[in-house]
Amino acid sequence: MKLESFWTDTAPRFAGASDAPLPRKASVVVVGGGFTGLAAARALAMAGTDVVLVEAGRVAGEASGRNGGQCNNGLAGDLGGLAAKIGMDAARALYHAFDEGVDRVEAIVRDEQIQCDFVRNGKLKLADKPEHGEKLGKTAEMLAREVEPNLRLIDKADLHREIGSDQFHGGIVFPRSASLHMGRFAAGLAEAAVRHGAVLHEQAGVTAITKIPGGRHRIETAKGPIEADAVLLATGASMKGPFGWMRRRIVPIGSFIVATQPLRPGQVARLMPGRRNCSTTRNVGNYFRLTADDRLIFGGRARFALSSPRSDLKSGKVLEAGMARIFPELADFPIDYTWGGIVDMTADRMPRAGERDGIFYSTGYSGHGTQMSVLMGERMARVIAGDAAANPWANLKWPAIPGHFGTPWFLPLVGAYYRYQDWRR
Ligand SMILES: Cc1cc2nc3c(=O)[nH]c(=O)nc-3n(C[C@H](O)[C@H](O)[C@H](O)COP(=O)(O)OP(=O)(O)OC[C@H]3O[C@@H](n4cnc5c(N)ncnc54)[C@H](O)[C@@H]3O)c2cc1C
């Protein structure tokens, strides 16, 4: 069993990073080579902007290359709650931004001819408890009326056509959602950015950013300094370096995944006949899907801890037990991969993007990041070019989380709170 991401282990390693010295200046420096940074670098280069991307480790080495492989539409939070705060029209627009995110991923895959198994297989939200089934019914009614006319509510009795498990109490299918091989998409996106003229540097972690005369910025990196007219921070939750302001606003939640060996003949038809992107309704729930070669990728929060090889192993055992509860015939089924990563969560599970002190940022996708990071990379390229209205999240305030000074000491408390909520309802 390998302690690394199935996606990065089974994709060609991106080989287009520059080994030349860092240029002295660029119009835009993008910090971070996950999907946000890569999509921004590609879009900026396509618009003719001189752009340099600096990545602390390897391209897509963090969340973008370590996630659950789901590219779902739909908000991470709930539409009704959001509408109560900002009005239904504005909430609808933010909901549809996720639809557009999935469309943008599909368009890039097509335009750049990236072989990454992109397929619109649909998301299946599964009710963990009878009460959750009732609540899903109400949610489905509102979503169908306001934003998602093609969704399908599925009763417990009909669920076996989608999933071979007796654990659930109904579900909703969101047909627009998609899945893809994240490692191959990341490598293809990075190669496309370079083809269009972006310069990508790996092992070039940023350690300081200072203002210099003329409203410009000096960025210190592990490969030396570079000056830029504009900087985009696309550092996700793994942000290392001088980003205390953002760190105090992000809850870095560990999420963990196991990938089985390919299922045996007959098991796919028995266990996952719908081949959907599944997720469950509990706060400490699970998400799972099949790969193109019929492995089950099974993830969840498992433990409220950050990712490390030891932590990933412990979490993998919790996940194996969860997988066996849902699919008893997979108890003791061989596991080929176990890994973990850090999710860029905000307190209200809505993304945040904007500009502060002349530095642009986009983050906080709260587990719904594959489509939103790609959309926001492209949108922030437009914002940097002067089109402020391109940022759909511009009007959301972003206060610091009380008591959060950068180190998430409170994660065990958050975990205990969520587990209590799951036990109660
Ligand atoms: C385990 C897990 C499962 C997930 N599952 C899903 C899913 O199924 N579907 C979904 O939609 N979303 C999922 N997500 C969320 C999604 O993967 C992320 O929201 C998205 O990839 C974020 O992209 P990003 O480019 O903003 O950040 P990242 O991919 O984290 O990239 C940020 C990059 O910035 C670099 N960096 C940090 N600091 C510096 C610095 N100082 N200098 C230079 N570079 C720096 C990092 O090394 C990193 O490569 C999951 C996340 C995790 C961790």
**Beta carbon of 39 within 6 Å of any ligand 1 atom:** no
**CA–CA distances in Å: residue 119 to residues 162, 291, 355:** 17, 11, 34
Q: Whose CA is nearest to atom 14 of ligand 1?
A: 367
Place of tokens 């602390």: 56
Helical packing angle, 369-384 and 88-111, nearest 10°: 90
Q: How far is the CA of 60 from the centre of ligand 1 (A)?
A: 7
Q: List domains and CATH numbers for the chain.
A: 6-414 (3.50.50.60)
Q: How far is the CA of 187 from the centre of ligand 1 (A)?
A: 14
Q: Tell me, what DSSP letter sits at residue 262? A: P
Handedness of CA 311, 313, 315, 317 (dihedral sign): negative
**Closest ligand 1 atom number to CA of residue 238:** 37
Q: How far is the CA of 5 from the centre of ligand 1 (A)?
A: 13
Return per-residue pLDDT of the chain as tens, 425 residues: 999 999 999 999 999 999 999 999 999 999 999 999 999 999 999 999 999 999 999 999 999 999 999 999 999 888 999 999 999 999 999 999 999 999 999 999 999 999 999 999 999 999 999 999 999 999 999 999 999 999 999 999 999 999 999 999 999 999 999 999 999 999 999 999 999 999 999 999 999 999 999 989 999 999 999 999 999 999 998 767 888 889 899 988 889 999 999 999 899 999 999 999 999 998 779 999 999 999 999 999 766 677 788 888 888 899 999 999 999 999 999 999 999 999 999 999 999 999 998 899 999 999 999 999 999 999 999 999 999 999 999 999 998 888 777 777 677 777 666 766 776 66
**Beta carbon of 368 within 6 Å of any ligand 1 atom:** yes
- Give the Cβ contact number of residue 215 at 10 Å: 9
**Beta carbon of 377 within 6 Å of any ligand 1 atom:** no
Q: How far is the CA of 69 from the centre of ligand 1 (A)?
A: 12
Q: Which residues contact 317 (CB under 8 A, 6 or more apart)?
A: none
Q: Whose CA is nearest to atom 35 of ligand 1?
A: 32
**E-strand stretches of 234-364:** 251-260, 277-280, 286-290, 296-300, 335-345, 352-356, 359-363
**How far is the C-alpha of 401 from the C-alpha of 361, rounded, in Å?**
18
Q: How far is the CA of 37 from the centre of ligand 1 (A)?
A: 10
What pLDDT sits at residue 303?
67
Residue among 14, 29, 64 to mutate when testing ligand 1 (max atoms within 8 A of CB): 64
Are 198 and 381 in contact by the 8 Å Cβ rule? The answer is no
**Beta carbon of 281 within 6 Å of any ligand 1 atom:** no
Q: Tokens for 368?
A: 């719904």
**Closest ligand 1 atom number to CA of residue 256:** 1
**Closest ligand 1 atom number to CA of residue 36:** 25
**Beta carbon of 234 within 6 Å of any ligand 1 atom:** yes
**Beta carbon of 370 within 6 Å of any ligand 1 atom:** yes
**Beta carbon of 55 within 6 Å of any ligand 1 atom:** yes
**Beta carbon of 373 within 6 Å of any ligand 1 atom:** yes
Q: Tell me, what DSSP letter sits at residue 305? A: S
**Beta carbon of 365 within 6 Å of any ligand 1 atom:** yes
* Dihedral class, residue 195 (left if φ above 0, else alpha if ψ from -120 to 50, else beta): alpha
What pLDDT sits at residue 251?
87
Could you tell me where the DSSP H helices lie in 66-205? Answer: 79-86, 88-111, 130-146, 182-195
**Beta carbon of 258 within 6 Å of any ligand 1 atom:** no
